Structure 1
Amino acid sequence: MESDALGWWGVPLAVIAGAIRVSTPFFFVSLGECVTERSGRINLGLEGTLVMGAMSGYGTACLSGSPWLGILAAGCAGGLFGILHALLCSLPRVNDIALGIALMLFGTGLAFFLGKPFIQPKAPGLPSIDLGWWSSLPQVRSALEVNVLFLAGIAAAPLLAWGFRNSRWGMIVRMVGDSSDAARAMGYSPDRVRLLATAFGGFMAGVGGSFLSLYYPGAWSESLSSGQGITAVALVIFARWNPLGCFWASLLFGGAGALGPALQSVGVTEGYYLFNAAPYMLTLLILILSSSSRRRLAGAPAELSVTR
């Protein structure tokens, strides 16, 4: 274990390493869902999209020998699921929350079915960048070994935050999310804008899934995802629909997920399963604290179904 040589100092080091690795799928899924929800639509099917992206990315990398093509394939698969969600939601009397749950089950089952041939083969993994080159300690170097997708997520968060405030597309997405009538009066189609926003959210979730299969843990199996997709929806609410908030919330959840293994590595076995449940307990706590029957959530788009 990484923490053995460093004793208790290895615990925060392992948590930092976990925050870097575990948070990356949360980055992409929550940032994509942030755009989707800012347009006034919620997609609860992201768990299925994430798993489908993981399978598509791994399978494409196996067949092509290129993990970069795997990332592209994963994003495209996620985008197709986003488009399907948006098209079905545009039909009369279709509830986006119920549809999201249905697509989550469909995407998960389809990925498991199509991914059976890729359980045994080994796909080429994504390369990492050694940011701990300055240290002679292997534990430090391992903790600071980051994937390019982590750095891409760091860059995407401020870019999206800037775009929402200063760009034309950001204004359109926010206007559609706050008032469909105002958007129509300005000549914009809410369904078209939400289609593009949901497709973008699906693309980002697919890319997040490719990180799971091509880097960490770096294999394809039916137990690959443990609720990252649905947890990311809670992250967006916790971050108050702010991309920068999604970034920090993802790091928080990544660190919480690494707490249990870090403590176990230094001999803390009492309540081990309780520490492993920390991310899910944190999700439940966030949902409880952010719920209110008297006022709309601060920063929430007015057209979002969960705020009505």
Structure 2
Amino acid sequence: MEETAIGIWGVPLAVFAGAIRVSTPFIFVSLGETITERSGRINLGLEGTLVFGAMTAYAVAVITGSPTLGVLAAMMAGAIFGLIHGWICKFPKVNDIAVGIAMMQFGLGLAFFLGKSFIQPVAPKLPSIPLGGWATSPQIQAVLNINVLFFLGAALALFLFWGFKNTRIGLILRVVGDSTDAARAMGIHPDQVRLLATAAGGALAAIGGAYLSLYYPGSWNEGISSGQGLMAVALVIFARWNPIGCFLAALLFGGAGALGPALQSVGVTKGYYLFYAAPYVLTLIILIATSSPTRSLAGAPGALSLTK
């Protein structure tokens, strides 16, 4: 009964620890999609980018013995996926949604094909920062053993929140996202901005995939994502395209995803598996709550639409 030694605090501690672990991929994918959608483009292909990034990071880490190189390789692969997506979408009458679905299937298929030989080998894991050395409880020490990518994601959310409002690049991104005609009148090339924004979004999504394969759960297999790339798109809408909102919403999604394992870790053996559906139920509720045929979403980029 060692796992339940901390009594009633077991569930909230496990949910807190799980929220940090589970939320990290959501943070990077949602921040990447925020950049892309702020430019006026939606990318539903991030699920494929996430999984391909996970495979790339794991394969490179196995070959080189360096998880850092694995993350960098994943970023490069994600940026290439974003560039392909952005290049296709610049042509007239091309639908962002259709291209995104095609890129998702392409990324998933390519990752499964190229990653078959890396299912068995073990890759080195990304480092974590032990912040619980002061505690005597191993449960608290585990909770405060936090991967470095979580802190990078938090810092990135703060930087993007500041950058969107206070930098020239942020201004250009917002102008392009709000009005293509206004951007052209200012001498800005919307297609180029959206191309780079989609590439940046793909690179960040791939970091989320690298986290999955190199830290939690820390292996490569074909079911590693469980739809997190698609759920992150709903998370961006829920956060109203606000980077800090994305970070907080990712923690909420992470906590929902950690609820089932948390109950199991403290000895709940009946019905806990129903809570594994919590992230998907939350996604559905958010999509329903934010949908309206009569009003636009607050904070939505003006040029962002489902059809061009």
Within 1, Cα distance between the matches of 2:283 and 2:2?
Answer: 27
Shift of 1:298: 0.5
Within 2, Cα distance between the matches of 1:2 and 1:103?
Answer: 46
Contact 2:96 2:306 in 1 (8 A): no
Corresponding residue number in structure 2 for 1:14: 14
Matched, 1:283 2:304: no
Within 1, Cα distance between the matches of 2:252 and 2:123?
Answer: 30
SS of equivalent residue, structure 2 residue 129: strand
Going from structure 1 to structure 2, the CA distance change for 1:150 and 1:263 (only over 3 Å counts) comes to same
Give TM-score, length-normalised by structure 2. 0.98
Shift of 1:33: 0.4
How is 1:40-119 mapped onto 2 (pairs within 5 angstroms)?
40-119=40-119
Q: Which letter maps to 1:216?
A: Y
Q: Which letter maps to 2:109?
A: G
Within 1, Cα distance between the matches of 2:200 and 2:277?
Answer: 30
Shift of 1:102: 1.0
Alignment deviations for residues 31-68 of structure 1 (CA, whole Å, 9 cap, x no partner)? 01001000000000000000000000000011111110
Contact 2:34 2:236 in 1 (8 A): yes
Q: Which letter maps to 1:57?
A: A
Q: Which letter maps to 1:12?
A: P
Corresponding residue number in structure 1 for 2:145: 145
Unaligned runs of 5+ in 2: none
Going from structure 1 to structure 2, the CA distance change for 1:251 and 1:307 (only over 3 Å counts) comes to farther
Alignment deviations for residues 218-245 of structure 1 (CA, whole Å, 9 cap, x no partner)? 0111111111100000000000000000
Within 2, Cα distance between the matches of 1:183 and 1:3?
Answer: 58
Unaligned runs of 5+ in 1: none
Matched, 1:179 2:208: no
Q: Which letter maps to 1:64?
A: T
Shift of 1:263: 1.3
Matched, 1:125 2:129: no
Moved more, 267-276 or 38-47: 267-276
SS of equivalent residue, structure 1 residue 141: helix
Within 1, Cα distance between the matches of 2:305 and 2:84?
Answer: 19
SS of equivalent residue, structure 2 residue 78: helix
How is 1:162-241 mapped onto 2 (pairs within 5 angstroms)?
162-241=162-241
Count residues with an aligned counterpart: 308
Corresponding residue number in structure 2 for 1:292: 292
Contact 1:49 1:205 in 2 (8 A): yes
Contact 1:2 1:265 in 2 (8 A): no
Contact 1:26 1:208 in 2 (8 A): yes
Contact 1:54 1:210 in 2 (8 A): yes
Within 2, Cα distance between the matches of 1:141 and 1:269?
Answer: 25
Going from structure 1 to structure 2, the CA distance change for 1:38 and 1:307 (only over 3 Å counts) comes to farther
Within 1, Cα distance between the matches of 2:265 and 2:217?
Answer: 18
Q: Which letter maps to 1:123?
A: A
Structure 1 stretches of at least 4 aligned residues deviating more than 4 Å after TM superposition? none
Within 2, Cα distance between the matches of 1:251 and 1:145?
Answer: 16
Contact 1:29 1:205 in 2 (8 A): yes
SS of equivalent residue, structure 1 residue 129: strand
Shift of 1:3: 4.1
Give TM-score, length-normalised by structure 1. 0.98
Going from structure 1 to structure 2, the CA distance change for 1:13 and 1:3 (only over 3 Å counts) comes to farther
Shift of 1:149: 0.5
Going from structure 1 to structure 2, the CA distance change for 1:2 and 1:194 (only over 3 Å counts) comes to farther
Contact 2:125 2:214 in 1 (8 A): yes
Corresponding residue number in structure 2 for 1:304: 304
SS of equivalent residue, structure 1 residue 303: coil
Q: Which letter maps to 2:129?
A: I
Alignment deviations for residues 178-223 of structure 1 (CA, whole Å, 9 cap, x no partner)? 0000000000100000001000000000111000000111011111
SS of equivalent residue, structure 1 residue 102: helix
Going from structure 1 to structure 2, the CA distance change for 1:128 and 1:71 (only over 3 Å counts) comes to same
Contact 2:95 2:307 in 1 (8 A): no
Corresponding residue number in structure 1 for 2:38: 38
SS of equivalent residue, structure 2 residue 4: coil
Contact 2:41 2:194 in 1 (8 A): yes
Within 2, Cα distance between the matches of 1:66 and 1:59?
Answer: 10
Alignment deviations for residues 124-155 of structure 1 (CA, whole Å, 9 cap, x no partner)? 11111001111011100001111110110010
Shift of 1:261: 1.2
Contact 2:51 2:108 in 1 (8 A): yes
How is 1:235-274 mapped onto 2 (pairs within 5 angstroms)?
235-274=235-274
Shift of 1:271: 2.9
